[in-house]
Amino acid sequence: MTFFLEVLIGGLLSGVLYALVALGFVLIFKASGVFNFAQGAMVFFAALTFVGFTEVLPGWTGLAPGSGAVFWLAFILALSSMIVLGIATERVVLRPLVNQAPITLFMVTIGLTFFIEGVAQGIWGSHVRRLDLGIEDVPVMFLLDNFDMMISQFDVIAAVLALVMFVALAVMFQYTKVGRALRAVADDHQAALSVGIPLKHIWAIVWSVAGFVALIAGLIWGARNGVQFALTFTALKALPVLILGGFTSVPGAIIGGLIIGASEKVAEVYLGPYVGGGIEGWFPYILAMLFLLVRPEGLFGEKHIDRV
Amino acid sequence: MFYREAGQFKASYQNDQQIFPIRQDQIGFIALMGFLFLVVPFIANQYWLQAVLIPVLIFGLAALGLNILTGYAGQLSLGSAAFMAVGAFGTYNFMLRIDGIPFLVALLLGGLCAAAIGILFGLPSLRIKGFYLAVATLAAQFFIVWVLVKFGWFSNYSSSGVITAQHVNILGVDFRSPEMKYLLTLTVVVVMALLAKNMVRSSTGRKWMAVRDMDVAAEVIGIRLMRTKLQAFAISSFYCGVAGALYAYMYLGTVEPEGFNLDMSFRILFMIIIGGVGSIMGSFIGAAFIVLLPVFLNVAFHSTIGAYVPADLASNLELIIFGALIIFFLIVEPHGLARLWQLTKEKLRLWPFPH
């Protein structure tokens, strides 16, 4: 039982990270109807930019390597790069393609993926970096002593970080002017335009927010597994989360992420040995596909769209 | 001036419904075929045949398969490479396990295997569409490759699932030299492309297009959605499967399941987007573009700045240019290169007196 709980909690914690990446997809899809495949590349770009700045900043400014000032400066610089990237994407790539078929927009984001990957590696080099957030990857002592469970402290803190961000985003969406505008655009483009919400600005903002989410996701994933090209594959992990949760639902992304994370770990541990292991790669997709057969719009997706 | 159908009267239904109704098109097609079959094998060198022409034809066929599904029937799929893998491994196993089976029969059977798997993974399309379906087809992509790697039977228990294609011998003729491989590939591709061309202008293709344009309306006028969609999945997968088998037997010779990865599926998707969604010729133009672009970029780099920049920077620059070009093409011509060709034809009809 303890072992099962360990597996389950470990899965849920990694599910939070899937949810984080899926959240970036949902934000952009809701606001602009673009299925942004470049989200994974954005995660990679953000993490690499952050690590790159932490490496070069001490040389430029004379700050001590690894100090808090370097961390925050690098964070701000990386965030600014993501915002610039978001605005540039809106201006250069999306604006000329307004009103094109969704598949064209999807393809353009795949092109963007190549572009971002090339730029990121061209600037910062393509070797694997270590990213240190100052959190040690040790089991939580309290759980180990009292319940005999091995849960990594890092995972818990990462999950808490992610949850804080979910809450912050929810508050922003609910109570700020920008948030209201974003929700209006997500509900109905035409209506939002007609009450005077500048759609172009909103798209730039959404891409920037998605960039911010990508940065957080990149930092956590990067600290876990090193900042490397494989970070771009987080996007693929987020896709079944999306179909499970629905493309247009923020809570769906979170709950879908938890379900996918937990079920994939549990399946790998309990089902994997019977079929030769390595089922983590496709299990979420099959699960999501079977789920779709029962409920085509996902857990929280809008009912009327994408249904046959 | 030269491309004008004035004076070509269609006196019978047969004339009106032929595959190339305009005489200039007929002449053009025959000239193209003559060039490809009779001239190219003699003038092209080893490198061009092996590294450019054969892959262009094979990927063109795969893109055609995807185009049937996505361009004509409107079902977005990201699993084409997996169906290619099914075709390749299916053909390999038929060749291996049935003594003396003719290659073309094995090719056909391999394609049918892919078609069967395609129907299986096409089932979700009955309930979902659009991006949901695209993501669901990713299940096929990952699952099939995993099965081929994990279960040694498919690759005759070789290490990590690598298969080496047997030699192809049809009626005593050995297909070993690049020229012969090219000719065999070309024959298969031309036959299948003509079949596809006929399919999309017959009732089959019209049903697909009706479903693509509005499935509810299609259902109302009496098209059976389930049958039409699954048929599109089956035929598309059949084309991809044959392309995969050709990829293994005529192009690489040695393939592993991991070679048919998501990247390849995306490349095939690029081909139809750049070439033109819903166009037979667009599939081949797109394939030529995507196959040639890296080759061209590579050559361009080595001849210009390749000597001055380090190798990894050069490869990153290639990535950037590839991405930027795709974005550029989509912005400039979202309907693909086939659309440009169509516009040229329209212009040619009026040239040189456009008023």
Cα separations in angstroms, B314 against A61, A116, A122: 30, 15, 9
Asked if residue B59 lies in contact with residue B74, where contact means CB atoms within 8 angstroms, the answer is no
Tokens 């319940």 found at:
A147
Q: How far apart are CA A44 and CA A215, in angstroms?
A: 8
Examine the pLDDT at A176 and tell me if it is beyond 60.
Answer: yes
The token duo for B234 is 């089956």
Q: How far is CA B15 from CA A25, B12, B24, B201, in A?
A: 52, 5, 15, 15
Label residue B287 by pLDDT band (50, 70, 90): very high
Q: Residue A146: which pLDDT band, with cuts at 50, 70 and 90?
A: low
Inspect the interface and report whether the beta carbons of A110 and B124 lie closer than 8 Å.
no
Give the pLDDT score at B83.
94
CB A105 within 8 A of CB A34: yes
Calculate the average pLDDT of chain A: 80
Residue type, B46: Q
Tokens of A98: 């307004």
Which residue type occupies B286? G
Nearest to A104 among B320, B323, B334 (CB): B334
Tokens of B289: 């573009």
- Residue B312 burial (CB count, 10 A): 13
A65 touches chain B (CB under 8 A): no
CA dist., res. B337 & res. B330, Å (int): 10
In chain A, residues with a C-beta closer than 8 Å to the C-beta of B324 are 111, 115
Q: Token digits for A80?
A: 């600014």
The pTM for the full model equals 0.85
Burial of B353: CB neighbours in 10 Å, binned 0-12, 13-18, 19+: exposed
* b/e code B208-222 from CB counts within 10 Å (16+ = b): bbbbbeebeebbeee
Residues 84-103, chain A: which have Cβ within 8 Å of B? 92-93, 96-97, 100-103
What average pLDDT does this structure show over B237-257?
90
State whether residue A23 sits within 8 Å of chain B by CB: no
Where do the structural domains in chain A lie, given as residue ranges? Answer: 2-294
Residues in chain A: 308
Q: Which CATH architecture has domain A2-294?
A: Orthogonal Bundle (1.10)
What ipTM was estimated for this complex? 0.78
Segment A6-28, tens digit of pLDDT: 788 878 888 888 888 888 888 88
Q: Evaluate if residue B152 carries a pLDDT over 60.
A: yes
Q: For chain B, say whether A113 makes contact (Cβ under 8 Å).
A: yes
- Give the tokens for residue A24: 């970036």
Write the CB contacts of A110 (distance below 8 Å, at least 6 apart in sequence).
A37, A38, B266, B269, B270, B326
**Comparing C-alpha atoms, which of B69, B92, B89, B91 is closest to residue B79?**
B69
Average pLDDT over residues A268-281: 73
Interface residue A273 vs chain B (CB under 8 A): no
**Structure confidence by residue, pLDDT tens digits, A59-99:** 777 676 667 778 888 888 889 999 998 888 888 888 888 77
Other Cβ atoms less than 10 A from the Cβ of A102: the count is 14
- Interfacial B residues in 167-196 facing A (CB < 8 Å): none
- How many interchain CB pairs under 8 A, A with B? 144
Task: Say which amino acid occupies A60.
Answer: W
**Distance (Å) from the C-alpha of residue B228 to the closest C-alpha of chain A?**
14
Alpha helices in A33-101 (DSSP H): 39-61, 68-88
Inspect the interface and report whether the beta carbons of B123 and A293 lie closer than 8 Å.
Answer: yes
**Residues linked to residue B168 through DSSP beta bridges, in sequence order:** B175
B 7-66 residues inside an 8 A Cβ radius of A = none
Distance CA A66, CA A64 (A): 6
pLDDT above 50: residue A305 = no
pLDDT > 90? residue B109: yes
- How far apart CA B176 and CA A162 sit, in angstroms, is 58
